[in-house]
Amino acid sequence: MAVTVENLEKLERKITLSLPVDVIQNEVNNRLKKLARTVKMDGFRPGKVPMNVVAQRYGYSVHYEVMNDKVGEAFSAAANEAQLRVAGQPRISEKEGAPEGEIAFDAVFEVFPEVVINDLSTAEIERLSAEVTDEAIDKTLDILRKQRRSFAQRAQDAAAADGDRVTVDFEGKIDGEPFQGGKAEDFQYVVGEGQMLKEFEDAVRGMKAGESRTFPLAFPADYHGKDVAGKQADFLVTVKKIEAGHMPEVDDALAKSLGIADGTVAGLRADIRKNLEREVKFRLLARNKQAVMDALLTKAELDLPNASVQAEIGRMIESTRADLKQRGLKDADKAPIPEEIVRPQAERRVRLGLVVAELVKKNALMAKPEQIKAHIDDLAASYEKPEDVVRWYYGDRQRLADVEAAVIENNVTDYVLAQAKVTDKAIGFDELMAQQG
C-alpha cells in the first residue's frame, strides 16, 4: 500500500490510517460469539446467553479492544512500508471526513534521528593511569588489622585517647528539653575514627573512667537527623569504661587467619596486590570510559526524540523510588520526584545511547562471545567460587545483556581512544580511590 508520511517538526511525523468499517464489525462479532460460548451470567446456563445480551454487556469493551488492535496493526504495517524507525508510541486520534464505509485515524509519532558523528581525530581525551604501590598495600593491611583488633581494659586512671574504645552514657537536650535519639546507655565507639561529631570526640578525649562532663554541641545544617539539624544542644556524657585497642602483628598467623593459601606474609601481600590491581583496573576503565563518552558527545549531532527522553525519565523516577523504598522510606512509591531533576541526565543517556549505537553499527563494535566470557571471568575472579558467579551470569538473560552492554561500551572506548588525540596522565592510587565511580 502507498503510505503518505507528513513531516511535522524535527522528528515528528504523521500518517493517516483508514480501516473498513465492515472489517472492524466482523471482528467484533467474531469475538462476541467466542465470548458467548464461555461467559457466565445470572439466569443463563454457561454458553446459552443470548447474543444481544452479550453484545449489550460486552460490546463496548470488545469494540474498543478491536479498534486498538486493528489500528495498531495498520500503523505497524504503514511504518514498515515507509521504512520508519518509530520512537515511542504513536498518538492516535480519529479523523473526520473519512469516505463512507471507512474510519480514518491520524497517527502522530516520532522517529529516531539521523546521527552524525564528526571527525573523532580532533577529539581531545585525557587517559588516566595508576599503579598499586607498596604504600597502598600497607594501608590495606592496616585496615585488615584494624578489623581484627582486640580491646583490653585500661587502668582506672588512664585518659581516653585516639584508638581507644570507650563505653559511655549520654543525654542531650535542646533548650532544656530531651530529643529523640539524644540519649543512650552503654554506647561504644572508638575515639578518633569519626563515628561521632567533633565536639563529642573532643569532650570525651582525655576523660577517665567514672568522669562526667557537660558540653555544647552544634548539629551541622546538613545533619541526617532533620529534627536537630542546625540546632545547638547541651550534652552530659559519662565515661564508664576505656579499652585500649591492639592490632595483630603482620605475620604468618595473620595471613593464615585471612585464608591465604600458603599462610605467609608474602602471600598475603601478593593477594592484596592482586585485588587492588583488579579494583584499579575497573576504576580506570570507568573513568576513561566517562572521558571517552564526554568527548564522543561533543562530536555528535542529532535531535532527541522526546518519547525516548520521557520513557527514560519514567525509568529513572521509578528506579529512584525503588531505591528510596529499599532504604525504608515510607510511601516511597508515591514520592514526588520532579521531572526537571532527572531530565538532564535522561537526555544525556538517550543521546549517548543513540550515538553509541550508531558508532557500533558503522564500525562493527558488537560484543563477541569470547569478550563477554572474558568480562564475566574478570567480574567473577574476586569471589571465593568464581565458577558459581559465572553460572549466575549465564543463567539469566538480563544479567547477560547487562554484561554485553558493558563490553560494547568498552569496545567503543577502545575505538575512540584509537582515533582521538590522547594525553596520558598518571595519578596516585589514593586520588583514584577517592574519586566516585
> Which neighbouring-strand residues pair with 243?
153, 165
Instruction: Tell how strand 124-129 and strand 421-426 pair up.
Output: parallel
Residue with cell 583490653: 152
Question: Backbone dihedral region of 426: left (phi > 0), alpha (psi from -120 to 50 degrees) or beta?
Answer: beta
Name the pairing type of β-strands 232-246 and 165-174. Answer: antiparallel
Taking CA atoms, 184 is separated from 159, 181, 242, in Å, by 21, 8, 17
Angle made by CA atoms 202, 204, 208, in degrees to the nearest 5: 140
pLDDT at site 34: 86
8 A C-beta contact, residue 185 and residue 169: yes
Classify each residue of 158-193 as buried b or exposed e, where b means 16 or more C-beta atoms within 10 Å of its C-beta.
eebeebbbbbbebbbebeeeebeebeeeeeebbbee
- All residue ranges of the chain with pLDDT < 70 are 1-2, 435-437
- What is the phi/psi pair of residue 163, to 5°? 95, -15
| 64-98: b (≥16 Cβ within 10 Å) or e | eebbeebbeebbeebbeeeebebbbebebeeeeee
CA distances from residue 312 to 320, 355, 358 in whole angstroms, order as listed: 12, 16, 19
Cell of 299: 562530536
DSSP 243: E
* pLDDT tens-digit map of 399-429: 999 999 999 999 999 999 999 999 999 999 9
The three grid cell numbers given for residue 19, joined into one nine-digit string: 480501516
CA dihedral over 78, 81, 82, 88, signed as positive or negative = positive
For 95, which DSSP code?
Answer: E
Helix (H, G, I), strand (E, B) or coil at 416: helix
At 331 the pLDDT is: 79
Of 307, 296, 313, the closest CA to residue 352 belongs to 296
Altogether, the residues listed in the chain come to a count of: 437
Could you tell me the pTM of the whole model? 0.73
pLDDT tens, position by position, 354-383: 999 999 999 999 999 999 999 999 889 888
pLDDT score for 436: 56
Stated as kind and residue range, the H or E segment containing 129 is strand 124-129
- What pLDDT, on a 0 to 100 scale, did the predictor assign at position 437? 46
- Which cell numbers hold the place of 256? 593464615
- Name every residue whose Cβ is closer than 8 Å to that of residue 403 and which is 6 or more positions away in sequence: 372, 375, 376, 379, 393
